[in-house]
Structures are given as structure tokens and as C-alpha cells.
Amino acid sequence: MAMTSRSRRLALTMLTLSLSAGLAQAAGYRFGTQSAAAEGTANANGAEGADASTIFANPAALTRLGSGLHVSGVLDYVAPDVQFTDAGSFISLPGSGLQARPTSQAGATQNAASGVFVPHMYAAYRASDTLVYGLGVFVPSGAKLTYDPSWGGRYNLNKVELKSLAFNPNVAWKLNPQLSLAGGLNIEYMQGDLERATPYGSAYAAGLLAAAQQAAAGGAPGLALQLQQQANQVFGNPAFDGNIHVHGKGWALGFNLALLWELDAKTRFGLAYRSSVSHKLKGDADWSQPATLPAQVLAAITGKPADGHSKLDHNDSGASLKVKTPDSLSFQAFHQLDERLAVMADATWYKQSRLQELRIEFDSTAAPSITPEKWKNAWRVSLGGSYRLNPELLLRAGVSYDRSPVEGALRSPALPDSDRTWLALGANLKLAQATTVDLALGFVKLREAPMQATDDGGGQTPCSCAYSTVRGTYRSSAATVGVQLNHGF
């Protein structure tokens, strides 16, 4: 597909901006919309085929576009509100005999999310009456949550940022007047950053208790009591907190298939499939220890025992994380009731069960960090409509219901997800013969989400675990604004 130098510069600009994906506005880590035209119908318009952005929802609908080159540039703004109210978070040290320590005051609140701009870009070129080439550059998933460093769940998570970018070339073929087929490759880049506090007071206390046992066995009960009292003082003390930052990135490949069946001039049905993408993010783990640790404790923490099963060995090293994105299968319908009014629907199934755990492996002898997820498969159902007010203005509206893949008992601060309802309004304005602009407004409301998450590796050993529990309730919502410029050459 030939592109002008201006188009290439625009694509590079969109690529740079796309690496700043924000809090996912759809269930799981999926980004909620890749098109302002779709956003105005709450993603119900997969079978509409009105512009080049149909590449994401159903590329087979590219055969409905006119001759020549079609370009659509999209900019979304997401303003999330993720309010957490603490219900008594704490940290424990199993087997020590020490009582659990609170890590926050019950009733403490904070907002972990902030607004973000996310762009997408699409281009399609009609090579003949039956063949269309297309390219989409979009953000398929993303998340960004930043908690206060002193919040009650700091040992579970302080910051998570997931960025992704997909290059999706497609070919659409009109087999006959009723049936169009399409297929494409999904070349996906993903980058992840995770930070959390490390309770070195737990390691310090464990060492003191071990020394107390030795003192008691050696006939020094006074020294043993003194060491036990000292362990009681340092355990749960944030003055001995350190930090770990894990960064990883990588490329992976998937594919997509689609068809569009045009029953008649007014009615059409679509079917679209996107495969899972299996990522292995490779990077590094940066451990930071506090200056308050005694030299012998620091030496024990950064030691490398020969058995290779230490829960310590907190030396900077390489790290890796395997992530599988979900398959999706969409069923779409569009019907033009009269010359003004159209109705549309989309039902999409996501194989979210591919994500059962997040396991960070370290190149050092440190045990892996394990977070059980056990996601379940989920559906999203969208209903929408459009109304042609006049030749220059088309109005849109839609509603969708998105089931969360997250089990309530395994909800974590990295993804405080729950079922959500999305209400949307939109409009398409004709600016010139070959130029239109789409505008969309949306409001997403999530069901109240209680959480009690313990960092214990789901009982798996060995594990780099803090044995901290964050308890509380999330109340979340998001407002969205989408702008899309469409132009034909």
C-alpha cells in the first residue's frame, strides 16, 4: 500500500503517542475502544463498515469503502476515578509467633488512577473492486495505577503500568456480492513495569528470632528474650522498607480472521476472530535495600545460597514474565430500518481463562514472585443505533455490559476489576465531500469491588512473598471522550 511522506510522518507520531496507554476502560486489561465511531455506539457497530477503523472490529467490512485511500486518525481521552477505601490491611510473618501488624488505618482512601490520552490510526486502500488492503496501528490493552507509597497495600503493589501497541495489516476480499472475507497478522509490542515495597523488617525479624532460638538452646534465656523483643520492634516497621522495580518488554505475533455477510442492502452480519498473543516480557529486576539495615542483615539478604531456593538473594538481575492475551470471537449485526434510523449489535466472547497466574522469574537464585489470577472466560454485549438527522450529521448512541474475568476472591490491586456498564453518545459530522469527523462521549460504571488479597504465592513454594494482606473496597468509574478524523484520497 503506497503512503505519502505526510502519512508516514503521521504514523510515526501516532506510534510514539500510542506507547502511553492508560487505565483499561474495558474488562481485564483490554483497552475499551479503538475507534471513536465505535465508541459512540458502545462498540455495537462492528458490521457497519463506515470507515477505515473497521479494521479492528471487522476488517471484512473494508470492502464497503469506496475507491482509493482511506485514513482514520483517532484520539481517546480516558478520565478514570478509582477510589479505594481501606478496611484494615496488615502484614504477617507465618511461623514466627509475631502478631500481624497493620499497614494502614481502616477508612483511609485514595485515587490510584489519572487521565490519559490514547491514539490509534488506520488506513485502507482499495486495489480493485474485490480487493482491499488495510493497516491498523492501535492500543489493544493497557493499564496504569499509581498508589501512594505509604498505602496499606504497598507490599502487594505500589505501581503498575502496562503499555502495548499492535500493528495489524489486513487483506479483505469480496468473494461475491454478499460475502466478504478478511485475514491479517497482529504484530504486538508490550511493555510492563511493576513496583512494590519490600518488607525487609520481616527478614530482619526472622533473623533475630533465629538468633533467639540459638541463644535459648545455648543456655542464655536473657539474651533470647532481648532478641525476641527486638524482633517484635522491627517487624512491620516501615523504616526497614525497601523496593523492587521489575521492567520487561517484548514482541509477539498473532492473527485475525473475519467475514461479512450482506443479506441485502439493509441487513448484514459479521463474524470476527482475534487470536491470543503469547508474550514473554524480558527485562530486569532492580532491588533497593534501606540504609537502616545492619550489615549482617544486608549480607544475608543479598547472599546467594548454593541450594538456589532462597527467598532472599535480592540482587539486581534479569527477570521475565509470560503473558497470554485472550482470544476473542465477535458476532455482529446491522440493520437499516429506514433511510434515517439504523440498529446494530455486537456480542463478543473472550477466552480470558488463558491467564491463570502471573509468575515473575528472576535470573538470580531468588524464588519467583507468584500472583494467582485464575481468570474466567467472559462476554461483552453491546446494543446501539444511529439516526441520520440531515445529510451532514449522523447521531449515534449505545449501551454495553461487560463481564469481568476476575474472580472476586482473587481480585488484586493490580487490576481492581468488576462487571461494568457503558453508556455512550456519538456523532458523525461531514466537513467536506471526502472528510468527516466522529465525536463520542462515554461513561463507564463498575460494580463495587471488595478485595482481600494476600501476597503468599497462592500457597506455592518457594515464592518471593511478603505475606501482606490488603483489604478494602474499590468504587470505580470512567468518563471517555473520543475524536476521529476520516479522510478519503
Return the pLDDT at 296.
86
| Core vs surface per residue 111-146: b (16+ CB within 10 A) or e | ebbeebebbbbbbbbbeeeeebbbbbbbbbbbbbbb
**Mean pLDDT value across residues 17-32:** 56
Q: Worst-scoring range by mean pLDDT, 8-12, 254-258, 308-312?
A: 8-12
Return the pLDDT at 479.
94
Please, which residues have CB within 8 angstroms of residue 69's CB and are 6 or more apart in sequence?
1, 2, 3, 123, 124, 125, 488, 489
> What predicted TM-score, i.e. pTM, was given to this entire model?
0.89
pLDDT above 50: residue 22: no
Q: What is the per-residue pLDDT across 196-212, written as a single tens digit (0 to 9) for each?
A: 999 999 989 999 999 99
Q: What is the per-residue pLDDT across 393-428, written as a single tens digit (0 to 9) for each?
A: 999 999 999 999 988 888 888 888 899 999 999 999
The verdict on whether omega for the bond into residue 462 sits within 30 degrees of 0, i.e. cis, is: yes
Q: What is the per-residue pLDDT across 138-190, written as a single tens digit (0 to 9) for each?
A: 999 888 889 999 999 999 999 988 889 999 999 999 999 999 999 999 999 99
Percent of the chain topping pLDDT 70: 92
More confidently predicted of 461 and 137: 137
Closest CA to 369 of 156, 200, 203, 191: 156
- CB 339, CB 333: distance < 8 Å: no
The bridge status of strand 131-138 relative to strand 101-102 is unpaired
Please, which residues have CB within 8 angstroms of residue 219's CB and are 6 or more apart in sequence?
none
Q: What is the per-residue pLDDT across 41-93, written as a single tens digit (0 to 9) for each?
A: 999 999 999 999 999 999 999 999 999 999 999 999 999 899 999 999 999 99
Output phi, psi for 216, to 5 deg.
Answer: -65, -40
pLDDT band at 27 (very low <50, low <70, confident <90, very high): low
**DSSP H helical ranges for 130-220:** 200-217
Q: What angle do CA 370, 155, 371 make, to 5 degrees?
A: 15
Burial (CB count <10 Å: 0-12, 13-18, 19+), residue 457 = buried
CA 267 to chain CA centroid, Å, is: 35
Percent of the chain topping pLDDT 90: 73
Closest CA to 101 of 89, 110, 109: 89
**Mean pLDDT value across residues 276-282:** 94
| CA 153 – CA 453 distance, rounded (Å) | 9
> Which domains does the chain carry?
5-488 (2.40.160.60)
Return the pLDDT at 303.
78
- CB 5, CB 12: distance < 8 Å: no
* CA 25, 28, 34, 40 torsion-angle sign: negative
pLDDT above 50: residue 326: yes
Which residue, chain included where needed, has cell 532481648?
A: 226
458 DSSP assignment = G
Which residue, chain included where needed, has cell 498473532?
A: 254
| CA 400 – CA 384 distance, rounded (Å) | 8
pLDDT above 70: residue 310: no
Return the pLDDT at 12.
44
Q: What is the per-residue pLDDT across 360-370, written as a single tens digit (0 to 9) for each?
A: 999 988 888 88
Output phi, psi for 210, to 5 deg.
Answer: -65, -40
Average pLDDT of the residues of the chain: 90
pLDDT above 70: residue 26: no
Residue 341: Cβ within 10 Å count: 12
pLDDT above 70: residue 458: yes
| Core vs surface per residue 172-191: b (16+ CB within 10 A) or e | bbbeeeeebbbbbbbbbbbb
pLDDT above 80: residue 13: no
